[in-house]
Structure 1
């Protein structure tokens, strides 16, 4: 296991353990975060514990042409009950992702330190958000890291039914229009699978990330 101190360095992702943990320690300095995402690594840890840096194998991703929009979701979209914006209120989106209660989870992994770090990346144009509004109230959204050809999804929230799905679909449609290769969803969950996401080998993911497979 590699221990991160002050140096801006990550070992090859192939050195991650069976769980996907590649390194421990360090901080959420924006430069370290930039290096992490461009290296196929992301932070995921509990507040008060050392930062854990992950590169799981397999990796959950969405190939944009494989997005699944159910008939019921198409009906929701056609009713135009939501308004979608991009990068209009990043702080509120990530703050809601921190506060929202999730089934099977006690607390949140999004610390105040993490919010500060990602807000800095947002100011630099690397972290982006999607907002979903209903009657001028923010009811859903998501945020992630934009690498220019791959978007790394971090978290999403929903205060009313379907709002996070609307954000997800809007993001995918936008990425597809701009010829992105992939939406990185990091690790498996059944909700993502229902939207068309699937697991691929880390080697394949890294090949796409490094623009070796177009």
Structure 2
């Protein structure tokens, strides 16, 4: 399935290869514009012009720029879930879980430091209810991935408590990343390090 086909932010899903390629060009154009000046400055006409499509063609798929941003958010979240799933798939004991999850925290922070589009989307999450809903669904999905690995290495722990804690760990992690990229780099590094230590301590306490 094309990455854009399952996005709820699209007005209609592209079914033909040419349509899928056209939507991909639109998203690439929007990404470039956000990288240059942020999503607030992005205009639908600019997206259409850079993508080489008519404004009418753009509106066939995206009713407004918020829909474009939500589609990009869903795409990044899907890629993130795949990264988490792959990172935790081989975990077989508590030491392995702590090492794998710690590495995922470092990876995510590194991505946010260098990816302006993800920073832009996250900075606008609190002002957009649809983005907040996407963010919440993503936290729950990521929490479920962590809970699955956590329960695998700590089978004696109470399942419902692990699921709740895993959801909280992931939600706090996302909040920490959002805060860390909003402050000076040194402070951001320290905040992520503190979150990492707290999260690993909580996970390890159940082992």
Q: Using structure 2 for the length normalisation, give the TM-score.
A: 0.31
> Between Structure 1 and Structure 2, whose CA radius of gyration is higher?
2
Q: Using structure 1 for the length normalisation, give the TM-score.
A: 0.30
Structure with bigger RCO (C-alpha 8 Å, 6+ apart): 1
